[in-house]
Amino acid sequence: MFPAIQFGRLFGIPLRARVSFLLMLTAVLLFWGGLSGIFLVLLAFGSVILHEFGHALTARKLGVGVSSIELHFFGGVANLTSQPKSANDEAVIAAAGPAVSFVLAALGYTLHAATGLGVFALLGAVNLVIAVFNLLPALPMDGGRIFRALLSKRYGFVRATEFSVKISRVVAIAFGVVGLAFMQLQLLLLAFVLWAMASAEQAAARRNPYGQPHYGYGQRHYGQSHYGQRNRGQRNRGQRHYGQPPRTPEVYYQGPSEPERIVVLRYNQRRN
Ligand SMILES: [Zn+2]
């Protein structure tokens, strides 16, 4: 809708600010808190950026590309170019963000204890809130991703996602009720955003162009291949028809010899 403005680059990852973030920053400066408000916002969003780098650098280490880190009205997001390759990978990538926030919280409180400076207590408090809030078991928040990854080992990716989305909706309704009861506009807005984002996660999990039972992790949408170089042509031929089922599964799996195929299928099963 609105362009995101790039304001930097760290570890080769572009940092972008959405217009909603800039509007919020302007509103804080003009109507609420002035310069000290801006300082608090920058402290909070600086912490959010480090949290997102926890996700992004872990993802990159696990072979998942990162296209950017963006800031918006509610916080930040690390944009990954593909799904993690396994449930364990998703759990680790999701946990890395809150782990960074907990470390920053501990650092803040330790420095506060050592120096007595209020700003460090603030750093600790902000990061503790970020860590705990993101661990709520509601997709697409980190806690929801960890929960979905653990569930998917038993129930598969699609069912695990559907169950996680139901929990997200309960949390969204709870946010809505509390927001109405205390007239907290931001919480009300968050309830709507959470509901919409959880629905999007569900739609993405159900989009299953090849009817593969283990859709979800280990997707090869970006020309990645676990089969080795030899089959890349076949994979990519399948890619071009993304959205249409191949005529027969044999066309899709053409390439490996029969025993190898069985090994590959077993391998895929084990991955989930
Ligand atoms: Zn996170």
Give the end-to-end CA distance of the chain in Å, rounded to a whole number: 35
Q: Who surrounds ion ligand 1 at CB < 5 A?
A: 97, 134, 142
Average pLDDT of span 77-82: 87
The arithmetic mean of pLDDT across residues 248-256, rounded, is 32
3 state DSSP class of 118: helix
CA of 146 to the centre of ligand 1 (A): 11
Instruction: Tell me the CA–centroid distance for residue 96 and ligand 1, in Å.
Output: 8
What's the gap in Å between 172 CA and the centre of ligand 1?
18
Residue tagged 């501990």 (tokens): 106
Q: Which of 95-99, 135-139, 175-179, 249-253 has the lowest mean pLDDT?
A: 249-253
Ligand 1 mean position to 209 CA, how many Å? 29
- Look at the alpha carbons of 245, 246, 250, 255 in this order and tell me if their dihedral is positive or negative: negative
What pLDDT sits at residue 176? 93
Convert the pLDDT of each residue in 133-153 to its tens digit. 899 999 888 999 999 999 998
Amino acid at site 146: I
Q: Please determine, for residue 257, whether its predicted confidence score (pLDDT) is greater than 90.
A: no
Structural domain spans, the chain: 5-135, 230-271
The one-letter amino acid at 214: H
Rounded to the nearest whole angstrom, what is the distance from the C-alpha of residue 54 to the centroid of ligand 1? Answer: 8
In this prediction, residue 142 carries a pLDDT of 93
Per-residue DSSP letter, 229: G
pLDDT at residue 20 is higher than 90: no
Q: Distance (Å, rounded) from C-alpha 90 to C-alpha 201?
A: 14
**138 CA → ligand 1 middle, Å:** 12
DSSP one-letter string for 142-205: HHHHHHHHHHHHHH-HHHHHHHHHHHHHHHHHHHHHHHHHTT-HHHHHHHHHHHHHHHHHHHHH
* Percent of the chain predicted with pLDDT > 90: 40
Q: What is the mean pLDDT of residues 56-73?
A: 91
The residues annotated as belonging to the active site are 52
By C-alpha distance, which of 167, 173, 150, 148 is closest to 158? Answer: 148
Give me the pLDDT at residue 164, please. Answer: 92
E strand segments, the chain: 5-10, 13-17, 66-72, 75-80
Identify the residue with better confidence: 65 or 73: 65
What is the overall mean pLDDT for the chain? Answer: 77
3-class SS of residue 31: helix
Confidence label for 2 from pLDDT (cuts 50, 70 and 90): low
* Mean pLDDT of all residues in 177-205: 86
pLDDT above 80: residue 253: no
